[in-house]
Amino acid sequence: MKQINRQMDSGYGESKIVGDLEPKQEYKFRIRFHRNDDIYSAWSPAVQVITDKEPYYGENLHKAVRNQSMGEIKTVLSSGNIVADVRDGHGLSALMTTAKLGQTDIMEMLLSFNASVDTKDESGKTALMHACFHGQLPAVKILIAHGALFDDYDLGGSSAIHYAIDSCNCELIEWIFKSGADVNCRDRNAGWTPLIRCASLTGNSIVAMVLIRNGADVNLQDSDGKTCLMIAVVNGHQQLVEVLLENNADISILNKSGRTAYEMAVSLEKRAIQKIMNPHDSVEAKRDSFS
């Protein structure tokens, strides 16, 4: 127990705030009054008080989440001092953090305390986008079951569907389109479909086959008029070029500069891809080697 003698400030105030006290600590206070003529009143009888427990802050929740302490998470959220969507130092809600890590048990608890699936980080990404980018199918299923939307977009114009393509998790990608998502949806920046994004970023031919099997149009063009075949050619994704050609990619389509995918292969000296796109090149190459 601590006893503190405090002199009231001058004036006519009826209360005094005492700071820097420790939580859950018992104190005794006495007061006296000071008049202008340097005369002091007697000290009052001691008044005993006990300070409250220190309130929870956002960091308490995020620390409990990092430690995967279900009991502490429940205690913090049950206190009523903290909402489930409070952000950490990186601007992420606890639901976003657990979604990208696939911590489904913690996600369920956060959602039971009204964590919002619509909350966005500083770049406009939702928990669903984080889960999709990291290939966390169980987390994606939970978020969709709680109302998360695939057709929401971040500040860069990409949706959760586009981030799922980056994960190269074919099981997740397959599930998304079996659930009814639009396999030919476009982003709001370059007009990329999931297949065009695949050609642009990873060039993963297996992902491309999953997309095509689920109805992806191989001949759609982005805002510059480029098809996924053109982009695969430019990036040198030979195996992807083969997959696209086997699935009726049109080599005669022109981009906005009036060039075809084959002309791009020629100008960039992608000789192996040229041979795939035009068998005549293979004959010419052999002829040159003997000349």
Task: State the chain's mean pLDDT as an integer.
Answer: 89
SS3 state at 252: coil
pLDDT for 10 equals: 54
Of 41-50, 127-136, 223-232, the poorest mean pLDDT is in 41-50
- Strand partners for 4: 29
| 48 pLDDT above the threshold of 90 | no
Of 27-36, 130-139, 165-174, the poorest mean pLDDT is in 27-36
| 287 pLDDT above the threshold of 60 | no
| 198 pLDDT above the threshold of 90 | yes
**Which domains, and CATH codes, for the chain?**
189-290 (1.25.40.20)
pLDDT for 2 equals: 52
pLDDT for 289 equals: 41
The residue-averaged pLDDT of 260-273 equals 94
| 170 pLDDT above the threshold of 60 | yes
Q: Which helix (H) or strand (E) holds 47?
A: strand 47-50
Strands 2-7 and 26-32: parallel
What is the phi/psi pair of residue 290, to 5°? Answer: -100, -10
Measured distance CA(211)–CA(198) in Å, rounded: 9
Instruction: Scan for tokens 């791009």, then name that residue.
Output: 264
Q: How many CA atoms lie within 13 A of 185 on its CB side?
A: 21
3-state secondary structure string, 9-27?
Answer: CCCCCCCCCCCCCCCCCEE
| 253 pLDDT above the threshold of 80 | yes
**pLDDT digits 0-9 by tens, 218-232:** 999 999 999 999 999
pLDDT for 50 equals: 72
| 14 pLDDT above the threshold of 70 | no
Are 128 and 102 in contact, with CB atoms under 8 Å apart?
no
Confidence of residue 27 (pLDDT cuts 50, 70, 90): confident
pLDDT for 4 equals: 52
Higher pLDDT, 45 or 107: 107
**pLDDT digits 0-9 by tens, 97-116:** 999 999 999 999 999 999 99
| pTM score | 0.79
Measured distance CA(222)–CA(169) in Å, rounded: 24
pLDDT for 25 equals: 75
**pLDDT digits 0-9 by tens, 51-74:** 656 677 889 999 999 999 999 999
- What is the percentage of the chain residues whose pLDDT exceeds 70? 87
Confidence of residue 280 (pLDDT cuts 50, 70, 90): low
The residue-averaged pLDDT of 168-176 equals 98
Instruction: Scan for tokens 């802050």, then name that residue.
Output: 57
**pLDDT digits 0-9 by tens, 238-249:** 999 999 999 999
The residue-averaged pLDDT of 269-283 equals 77
- Strand partners for 159: 153
Are 171 and 140 in contact, with CB atoms under 8 Å apart?
no
Nearest to 97 by CA among 71, 74, 63: 63
Confidence of residue 209 (pLDDT cuts 50, 70, 90): very high
